[in-house]
Structure 1
Amino acid sequence: MDNQGLVGWHFASEGPSVGTFLGLGIGEFPILVFLWHPIMSFIVPILVFEILTGKVLTTHEIILERTKRKTAILVLFLILISTFIANENQFDLVSANISLIGTLLIIAVFYRLTKISDLNSLELGKRSFKLLVGYLSYFIL
């Protein structure tokens, strides 16, 4: 097996920072679970939904307010992500463009789906929340 890529939740070329337990990098696992998972699974999708639909929750208005600084950070972020995409496609122009087209198609599909949706439809009531906590507790225990 080569030393490239993500293996066992740590980068194999460098190895885990502290060591592994059951194949998981001990130092990397908390970062994945407590930082990247909540951001990429909950926060970013909700903010993207609000941007696409224009249906912004009142508590999120300050985050989505446009400023020159936020625009500059977004442009720098897009350039950074573009370099990662180009690197993953071995700087092959055709492969990078196919990847871009696929990403844009996914965005277009979700954009159409969000036009008929509302964030409030995802809000859990007390009963639903209790059922969800019970369901998740079953798998933790």
Structure 2
Amino acid sequence: MNKIIKLSYEGKDFGYMGMKKNGNMHVFYGGADKSDAVEFKQVEYPKRSNAYYYEVVKVNKHYLDIKATSSVLFADKPSISLAMSSIVAWEEVDGELHAIISGKDTTKAVSRSAADPDSTTLYGNLTFGDGNACKVKILDAEKVS
């Protein structure tokens, strides 16, 4: 079953994770309505039992990833195969969604902007230092009304 991601920040509702086109890439943002929530298919990550790649249902073979240069969350497509790519997997840790690379928790979590409190763009920030991690609930897409 497809999944959607409900967000909160500092105990307050931050809507759902949405996706929008920004230049030549799709970026993820918080504060989306249920009807605009991006749907994901969880793809098993072989190096960790509770971690998954998050495939974007509406954008063929693109996955939730972190832009190395800016930490922005964006939809990335592997050039050869998912297993041989640098696309991160994700694991829910204490209510946060953490990026997993090479089977290890990077302590980078789905977060709000540390620099712009009005921005809804989502980032993969370190849970310490940059901060601003969002709490997440992974929900079945079809059960949300």
TM-score normalised according to structure 1 size: 0.21
Bigger fraction of residues in helix: 1
Q: Which has the higher contact order (CA 8 A, sep 6+)?
A: 2
Say which one has the larger Rg. 1
